[in-house]
Amino acid sequence: MVATLTDRIAAVQEQIAQAAQRVGRSAESVTLIAVSKTHAPDVIAAAYDAGLRHFGENRSDELAAKAAALTGLPDLRWHFIGTLQSRQTQAVADHADVFHAVDRLKIARRLSRQLEEAGRTLPVFVEVNVSGEGSKSGFSAERWEDDADQRAALHDVCATIADLPRIELRGLMTMAPWDAPEATLRSVFRRTRALADWLRQAVPQGDWSALSMGMSDDFTLAIEEGATHVRVGRAIFGERVY
């Protein structure tokens, strides 16, 4: 028997609840973001009907098109989770409810200006690269515990972002390496959480309470290590077309 979308959503929600329970947290402390990139608006509408409200996109043109196609669904929240180029910030300023991947000051500054014009505010996560993998975007944080210069750079960039008008800091986002052993994944998540704890002291004008980490293959580990937002695509929608 082929699992339906509703079955897969229920299975992911059950795994979230169990992972949270293992570490004494409530299921409600975790926001499930269904990563709907490449999937059509009618598939998103079906997931919405099954109870999901948070959807993740990683291309600005796709976000704009889907937001336009699905304006009628109350409480639907768009999370932009991808790397953003300068010329693409307007779509995020116009349509995103949360932006997970601030990885350059220039992007944050542009968004801040465009949000001001649009009369909106935008909750954001600062993306950090704690694994040091070259393919990962995000501010360098692979040696943050031992390297005072890297820590100072992170401090300065986070303090600058925290002071930008219309940008509401919420916490850190990270991507774990592909196909890594469990111990490595846990270490990446744990070190990201520790960095957020450090930032809470170092940049107290920001809110560092949220942690966006964990995808289809590792979201239960991420929750055990403190994730408050998990970004799950394939486990809900199946394999992507591209």
Ligand X SMILES: *Cc1c(COP(=O)(O)O)cnc(C)c1O
> Is residue 138 near ligand X by the rule CB under 6 A?
no
Strand ranges inside 53-191, DSSP E: 54-57, 77-80, 98-102, 122-129, 139-140, 167-173
> Is residue 206 near ligand X by the rule CB under 6 A?
no
* Choice from 59, 202, 216, 238 touching ligand X (CB under 6 A): 216
> Is residue 233 near ligand X by the rule CB under 6 A?
yes
Judged by beta carbon, residue 84 or residue 108, the one nearer ligand X is 84
Judged by beta carbon, residue 35 or residue 115, the one nearer ligand X is 35
Per CB under 6 A, contacts with ligand X among 79-108 are 81-82
CB of 211 to ligand X, least distance (A): 13
Q: Which residues neighbour 39 within 8 Å (Cβ) at sequence distance 6 or greater?
A: 237, 240
Stretch that binds ligand X, among 153-161, 194-202, 220-228, 230-238 (CB under 6 A): 230-238
* Token representation of residue 101: 């991947």
Distance CA 176, CA 185 (A): 6
> Is residue 58 near ligand X by the rule CB under 6 A?
yes
Contact between residue 53 and residue 32 where contact means Cβ atoms under 8 Å apart:
no
Q: How many CA atoms lie within 13 A of 215 on its CB side?
A: 17
* Choice from 8, 79, 104, 231 touching ligand X (CB under 6 A): 231
Question: In sequence order, what are the beta bridge partners of 123?
Answer: 168
> Is residue 232 near ligand X by the rule CB under 6 A?
yes
Q: Tell me the three state secondary structure of residue 207.
A: coil
* Token representation of residue 157: 């960039």
CB of 3 to ligand X, least distance (A): 16
> Is residue 35 near ligand X by the rule CB under 6 A?
yes
CB of 96 to ligand X, least distance (A): 13
> Hunting for tokens 């196909």 — which residue is that?
179
Residues that bind ligand X (CB under 6 A): 35, 37, 58, 81-82, 175, 215-216, 231-235
